[in-house]
Structure 1
Amino acid sequence: MKTEFDINEQILRVTRRVFAVGKLRQHESVKVANAAKELVKKWKTTVDKQKPGGGKSTASTPTAATPKPTAINTTIAASGSKAGIKTPATPVGNGPPRTSKNDGFTGTAGEKVRDKCMELIYDALASDSPAPIELIAKRAAEVELAVYHNHGSSTAGEYRNKIRSLFVNLKDKNNPELRESIVSGEISAKKFSTMTSEEMASEEQKAALKKIKEDNLFQSLSAQETEAETTAFQCSKCKQRKCRYRQAQTRSADEPMTTFVTCTVCGNRWKFS
């Protein structure tokens, strides 16, 4: 994908390659993650150069600057129209951040509160997305409708609080994977409408939250039970065998007890059952 294909903004929008490759930037393999970051960066540089004022004159690159409609684009636009969604042309070139106002999108529910909530979801999804307007509009409409149905077709307090929660988590600059998953359809609107803030958190946030919970568990058990010293366990960090441990029943009674170990040399902590 690095060398065999000529990439332009139109191809990226239609094929959605950027979504698939973008997810690999968080891959557990450093080699894969770095390769994905390099490829996304290369694509961005290529597309920027093709835009007006991006280093090439518009006369030398008329196709890149003003891409012609394709059969695929026509099909997508038609599907958006059938769904009752306005489909203005996706902005091309350097300009202000994408929002419902700048993209010319307005809510289609026909109710002021719902339309405003739909536009909020659109703003969050579109903020850094290269996807076509009609696709983001469709996802925003699906999410709003799912929340609306989940709350008894009412726009009362719970409906508004849920929309606000979804918007805040979608808008998080450190969680682009969530936005990409919604726009690409990997996470359905129905599922997304019921997710908690913890479930919507990025992998880094989930790891940090897990560590906080484990630390709190260690501290709460420490206040209740006396630790015994032992040399039976070896610390994975400093390789010493000077440790303190305690055991607690953290799961059901028919499950084995969990052992909590603290290295007295470096302070490293771990648990097993």
Structure 2
Amino acid sequence: MDSKTVNKLRTELQASQASGKSDVMIEILKALKDELTATEEIIRETKIGLAVGKLRSHDNKEVSELAKEIVKKWKSDVGKKAPSKVKQEGASSGTTASSVTAAAGDSKPEAPRTYKTDGVDFEKHNDKTRDTCLSLLYNAMVFDSTAPSELVMERALAIESTVLNDNDGSTGEDYKKKIRSLMLNLKDKKNPSLRGAVISGDTPADIFSRMSSADMASEERKQQDRALELNNLFKARGAGPQQAETDSFKCGRCKQRKCTYYQMQTRSADEPMTTFVTCTVCNNRWKFS
């Protein structure tokens, strides 16, 4: 397998990772394992070791196991060639199998990807504000991604254009504020699923560009917000209706029917009242309308 083929497989592997296609990733990894006899030159030239090395911690067990096997095999491949290389070039053994270790990400972690490290040109619009915002969006998506730069660039262009159109072609304060909000949510290290969905296209650029901060929040954050809202509603009861005991409700946590409840009008007058229930056994709380 030559460098050109390996480069092609690396691009396909990164694209399938960005789109979450584990079956495609597995197929590519198997081809690399069976058909590529690693050399130091190929590993360094194609950077395939880095692409595969990152997959050793992938959520899909088959993907992660294959990646570990491949890196181990490549280290062995390069190590077998070490004696002749040392003899011919007088090189130290540190430039052989250790090069695979470094290429696979086992040494110092690489600096985060940016448009500069990717060599991307952002002078697209002959407008400094737009080009700067475009670069910020790109950096927010790519810093921990292995997706091809062309794909990330495509998404950044679509997002920036949507925000511009929504602001009637103006790059004023509202435009900058929205770009800033999108950028900060995209680069949130605790919300990788948002980046992945935008890059893969599962969340289209036009929909993402119009999301609020609450819409973009991670599932963990949304659950925390819902719990806080519910807790505040319980606290806001104040001197309102007294709680009544009942066995009409079954606790979802402890399955007991020892509860207290009260009702409040939390929405408009023509909407039904909201019932707040507390389990007296485990203190679980829930509400319904």
In the superposition, the TM-score normalised over structure 1's length comes to 0.70
More helix by share: 2
Indicate the residue corresponding to 1:183 in structure 2: 199
Query: How big is the shift at 1:179?
Result: 0.9
Q: Which residue of 2 aligns with 1:106?
A: 121
Q: Does 1:227 align with 2:243?
A: yes
Aligned-pair CA distance for 1:45: 3.5
Tell me the equivalent position of 2:20.
20
Secondary structure, aligned partner of 2:282: coil
Q: CA deviation at 1:104?
A: 0.9
Distance 1:183 1:236, change over 3 A: closer
CA distance change for structure 1 residues 50 and 210 in 2, over 3 Å: closer, same or farther?
farther
Structure 1 residue 166: Cα displacement: 0.6
Normalised by the size of structure 2, how large is the TM-score? Answer: 0.66
Structure 1 CA distance for aligned equivalents of residues 228 and 187 of structure 2? 24
More divergent stretch after superposition (256-265 vs 206-215): 256-265
Provide the secondary structure at the position in 2 that maps to 1:57: helix
Does residue 216 of the first structure (1) align with residue 239 of the second (2)?
no
How far residue 46 of structure 1 moved from its aligned partner, in angstroms, is 5.7
| Aligned position for 2:65 | 42
| Superposed displacement of residue 198, structure 1 | 0.7
Shift of 1:221: 2.8
Shift of 1:141: 1.2
Cα 1:130–1:42 change in 2 (3 A) is: farther
Highest RCO, 1 vs 2 (Cα 8 Å, sep ≥ 6)? 2
Tell me the CA shift for residue 165 of structure 1. Answer: 0.7
- Structure 2 CA distance, aligned partners of 1:50 and 1:160? 49
Letter aligned with residue 172 of structure 1: D
| Aligned partners of 1:18 and 1:40 also within 8 Å | no
1:164 and 2:180 matched: yes
Q: Which amino acid aligns with 1:197?
A: S
Native 8 Å contact 1:106 1:115 kept in 2? no
Equivalent pairs, count: 223
Q: Contact 2:18–2:199 (CA<8 Å) still a contact in 1?
A: no
Q: Which residue of 2 aligns with 1:72?
A: none
Aligned to 2:278: 262
Matched to 1:158, the amino acid is D
Cα deviation for residue 248 of structure 1 reads 2.6
Pair 1:104–1:185, CA change in 2 (3 A) = same
User: In terms of Rg, which structure is larger?
Assistant: 2
Instruction: Give the SS at the match of 2:275.
Output: strand
Identity %: 44
Structure 2 residue runs of 5 or longer lacking an equivalent are 1-8, 23-57, 82-102
Partners of 1:238 and 1:140 in 2: CA distance: 48
Distance in 1 (alpha carbons) for counterparts of 2:190 and 2:266: 33
In the alignment, what sits opposite 2:157? 141
Distance 1:43 1:172, change over 3 A: farther
The CA deviation at 1:20 is 2.2
Deviations 1:87-132, CA, capped at 9 Å, x for gaps: xxxxx97543211111111322221111111111111111122111
* In 2, Cα distance between equivalents of 1:93 and 1:36: 18
Kindly state the Cα deviation for residue 44 of structure 1 after the two structures are TM-superposed: 4.8
**Shift of residue 257 of structure 1?**
3.2
- Does residue 121 in structure 1 map to residue 155 in structure 2? no
What are the ranges of 5 or more consecutive residues in structure 1 without an aligned counterpart? 1-7, 23-34, 61-91
Deviations 1:128-148 (A, max 9, x none): 221111111111111111111
Change (3 A) 1:57 1:138: same
